[in-house]
Chain A
Amino acid sequence: MECYRKHFFDMEKEEKWLNEMAEKGLALKEVKSGFLTEKYCFEESSAKYTYRVDYSRDGAVMEEITAPYVMFVTSSCGAEYLCWANGRVYFRKDKEKGEFPPLYSEAKSRYETELRQFGGSVGIMSLLLFDVVYCGYSAIEKFLAVGVNWFSVLEAVCVLICAAFLAIFARKAIGSCKKMSELKKIMKE
């Protein structure tokens, strides 16, 4: 089993990479969510697969296999559900069983999905931003009033963690923006 740590902000690039690996005979077995990167584990396989990646649609994390969208893709395309990781779902289909066309055949529908994802990122960002500003302010206030004590240190650590997450979600939102502007161009053509 070969494992790689990577993160793709762009789902299409991720899909392309997985399919290139599959061409080389390395079939993705599972993806594990991580903090900054995902862990992709491959195994050597004689079967050739087509991989497709999409954002999770139903908001369900647990028992994703029974989620309506996952069931729709597996039943309508004859594909196999592989795993869920970090908000994305992974499907594959043995090439011998037939073609597995891209999940989005129209730029407009791909755009709508990206917009939903962008909205989610911005929502989480606003919560984190509130946390950073509010806790940051309160930490500074306490520090000025009583100096360094365990409570202000704890609060400062909290603020830093939130700030790190804020940066990650900001990066995701920027990624979504880039993708949306690309799709807008295609839609205008």
Chain B
Amino acid sequence: MPESFERGALTEAVYYILLALFEPNHGYGIMQQVEEMSGGRVKLGAGTLYGALNNLVAKKWIKLLNEFGGTRKKEYIITDIGKKAVLAEVGRLKELAENGEKITGKYREGK
């Protein structure tokens, strides 16, 4: 993969999943919290969430909390690497939003 592709944006699902994991959380909890945070707009599918959790564990952005505990409700938590990724993304999104505001704001004033 070219180097320039690696600093891509996080998908909406991954971004919200990471935010939901600043506190220990399990599958159902993540779904609920993400739906709530996004005002009902983002409804994570179980297959999408399952795949994303496995990918994030493999990347060490999140980790399993109770590996030897009950298997029915696995709890996850974000790692320091994951937190760094979220911070970088928040910065990137801020830049996008600010530039958007600046340009469209001027446009609105001009009208």
Contacts and interface: CB of A to CB of B under 8 A. Distances in A.
B51 interface: yes
Given A106-B48, A109-B52, A101 B43 contact: yes
B13 interface: yes
Interface residues of B, number: 22
Contact of A103 (B42, B45, B52, B72): B45
Given A112-B51, A113-B51, A73 B11 contact: no
B34 to A, nearest CB: 10
Contact of A102 (B13, B31, B45): B45
B46 A73 contact: yes
A69 B48 contact: no
B27 A76 contact: yes
Nearest to A66: B71
B48 A109 contact: yes
A104 B73 contact: no
Interface centre among A68, A79, A106, A110 (most CB of B within 10 A): A106
A75 B45 contact: no
Nearest to B29: A76
Contacts of B31: 76-77
Do most interface residues of chain B lie in helix, strand or loop, or is the interface mixed? Answer: helix
A108 interface: yes
Contacts of B45: 101-106, 109
Interface size class of A (residues with CB under 8 A): 20 to 34
Contacts of A110: 47-48
A170 interface: no
A148 B12 CA distance: 65
Contacts of A102: 45
A112 B51 CA distance: 9
Interface string A26-54: 00000000000000000000000000001
Contacts of B83: none
B43 A69 contact: no
A71 interface: yes
Contact of A75 (B12, B13, B28, B43): B28
Nearest to B13: A106
Given A54-B47, A77-B46, A105 B27 contact: no
B73 A75 contact: yes
B73 A109 contact: no
Interface in B37-56: 42-52
Interface of B: 11-13, 26-28, 31, 42-52, 71-74
Interface of A: 54, 57, 68-69, 71-73, 75-79, 101-106, 108-110, 112-113
12 contacts: A71-B71, A71-B72, A72-B46, A73-B50, A75-B73, A76-B28, A76-B49, A101-B44, A101-B45, A104-B48, A105-B48, A113-B51
